[in-house]
Structures are given as structure tokens and as C-alpha cells.
Amino acid sequence: MLRLSVLDQSTVVTGRSPDTSIRESLRLAQHCEALGYSRYWCAEHHNSDSQAGTAPEILIAAIAATTNRIRVGSAGVMLPHYSALKVAEQFRVLDAIAPGRIDLGLGRAPGSDGRTAYALNPRAETAADTFPADVRDLIAWVSGQPLVENHPFRDVRAQPAGPTVPEVWILGSSDYGAQVAAYFGLPFCFAHFITDGRGADQALAIYRDGYRPSAAHPVPHAALCVWAMAAETPEEAARLFRSREVWRLNRDRGVFMALGSPEEAAERTYTEGETLRIERMRARALYGTPDVVGAKLRALAEEHKVEEIAILTTLHDPEARRRSYTLLARAFGLGAPDVPLAAD
């Protein structure tokens, strides 16, 4: 059975201040737990008018403390901004809050522009070069295992130790992350929503072909993260998707703005070129009624031979977003059929 999870970017929308997006994330996490989703992952972005999730480790703590079953984690912590030890300590604390329910998804991308990356870490220009070594050290510190021989910090321990440990993932939209995940024997999630699937086949093949079994993961575990949205009717799905269309047009120009409403999108004037791009966008996007989206998700999982898909849904209306996750949960029989379409 295909496992469904959630990626949340704490999307900023027009008409509401960014701080409300964080509170909506808390509400959505509780809703998705009730629906039966497997994981709830929080993204990391900085200096963005589009996403408010700058500190996933703090949001994870709040979600973990207000849920009971769902796994909670990062997708991902952008490791070049931080020391591996500090991240290990943060996630050991999170595992103490919610034992056995914490995922530590790691990424190498800055999640911001170069200037902001430098403000976060003056070593930003070279920090990404040590990503594999930092992942190696982080795995050891998180799991309570010794660091490699002759490591200068071999006697340093990440506290608090406990009977369970966070599950480390590598996240990426290129071959690089796939290679790192394969080398260390870690689960790998390909960011399909960033590339519209381009490069997924190659990255996943590299991951599986080069996989080195680890004690925690003797076989490879691959997942996709996709943008998807469901509504009761095709017309309603198309109306809601208008917000995504405009946001993507802006993103492709390097402009990251708050997500507008469908009504704001309808008032926008489009050039001929933009209209053609929207038509191509609609042709490959995963939106529609639950049966249509469900069929596309199953086909995608079969095509890429993955056991898990994380769903990112960015909508202006938080109730419509919760309703989308509810409709997809019902389409996949995740359980809790009595959960309202958009729980208060």
C-alpha cells in the first residue's frame, strides 16, 4: 500500500500576516494526523515573502508536543547553515519530546539567496563542500555511535541520549543528494515538486544502484515529494489552481511572492507566452477530483517504484487546503473516515 505523508512550507498568503502561516501549520498537522498520514515534514526557507518556515526545528517541537502518532520532521534542515553537532543536539531533544517519531531530513541547498546564506553562515560559500563529511558526523552524533577514528571531536557526545533516535533522510532535486543517500545507506526523497519530475528517474536509479546497506536501513527506501491538490469538482480544483499558476509564473522569473487568492489570479492580465506556459503547467500538474489525483499519484509511484509520496499543497484558503488532504486521505483509505472535510 502506498504511504502518504505531508510537506508543509508554511506558505505566506496575501491578506494575512506571515505569522498566521505558522499557526495554520500547527492546525494542519493535527488534522493530517487524524486523517492517518504517516509523516508531517516542515521545510526551511529564509528571507522569503513566500514561505514563513524559517526554523523547522522549533515548529517540529510544537507539532510533536501537540500530536500523538504521526512522525514529525524536517524537509529539510539546510545543513550548510549549521554545525552538525548543533543539529544533532536539536533533534536529540526533539526525539526526547516525541520518542521514535522524529525525522531529520537534510538538504544541501541554501533555501535562500546567496547573501542571506552568508548572513546565516559566513562560511556559506564553502560549507556546502563539506556536506558529505557533515552528514557522516551528524549520523554518528544522532545515533550515539562514535565518530570516525582520529576525529578531533571523537569524545564529544550529543545529548540527550535515549532509547530511540531520529530517522535521518537525504532530500534533493538532483543526482548529488541521491549519491550521498546511497553512500550512507539512508532513505532518499526526490523533490519532484521543484523539478516537475525532471531528473527523478536518473536520481532514483543512481540511488538504488549505488546503495550501500546500513544497519538502520538494509535496503533502499525511496520517496517522492509532489505538489498535489484535490477538490470535490473539476471546476473547483481549476479555480483553486489559479493561485498556483500565478505563483509559478513569478517563481520562474526568480520572484518569490506571497500566494495570491484565486480571485486575485483571475483579475491578472496574462501575456500570450504566459498563457502557453500555464497550459503546459496544467497538463502536467496533479490537481482535480480525488479519484483523478489519486490515480495520478498511484501511477507516479508505480512509474518511479516508490513506496511513499509526500504531498505539498499550497492554497490561499486554509480550509480548502485541509479539505484537499481530507479528500486524498479518503481516496487512499487512510482511515478516520469520520474526520470532517475541514476540521476546526
CATH number, position 155: 3.20.20.30
| The predicted structure's pLDDT at residue 199 | 96
The reply to whether 261 falls in a domain is: no
Comparing 148-152, 206-210, 253-257, the range with the smallest average pLDDT is 253-257
pLDDT given at position 338: 66
| Residue 318, C-alpha cell as written in the block | 486554509
Within a domain: residue 129? Answer: yes
Residue 344 lies in a domain: no
Please give the C-alpha separations between residue 158 and each of 24, 90, 147, 264, in angstroms, as whole numbers. 32, 9, 11, 49
The reported pTM is 0.95
**Rounded mean pLDDT, 286-298:** 98
Instruction: Name the pLDDT band for 344 (thresholds 50, 70, 90).
Output: very low
- pLDDT tens digits for range 240-264: 999 999 999 999 888 999 999 999 9
Residue 278 in any domain: the answer is no
pLDDT above 60: residue 343: no
Q: In angstroms, how far is CA 105 from the centroid of its own chain?
A: 8
Residue 209 in any domain: the answer is yes
- Domain of residue 58, residue span: 3-234+287-331
Whether residue 260 lies inside any domain: the answer is: no
Is position 148 within any domain?
yes
Q: Is residue 76 part of a domain?
A: yes
Q: Kindly list the distances between the CA atom of residue 40 and the CA atoms of 72, 83, 188, 310, in Å, as whole numbers in the listed order.
A: 5, 24, 16, 8
Rounded distance between C-alpha atoms, residue 335 and residue 35, angstroms: 6
What's the mean pLDDT when you consider all of the chain? Answer: 95
Total of domains in the chain: 1
State yes or no: pLDDT of 174 exceeds 90. Answer: yes
Mean pLDDT of 186-201: 96
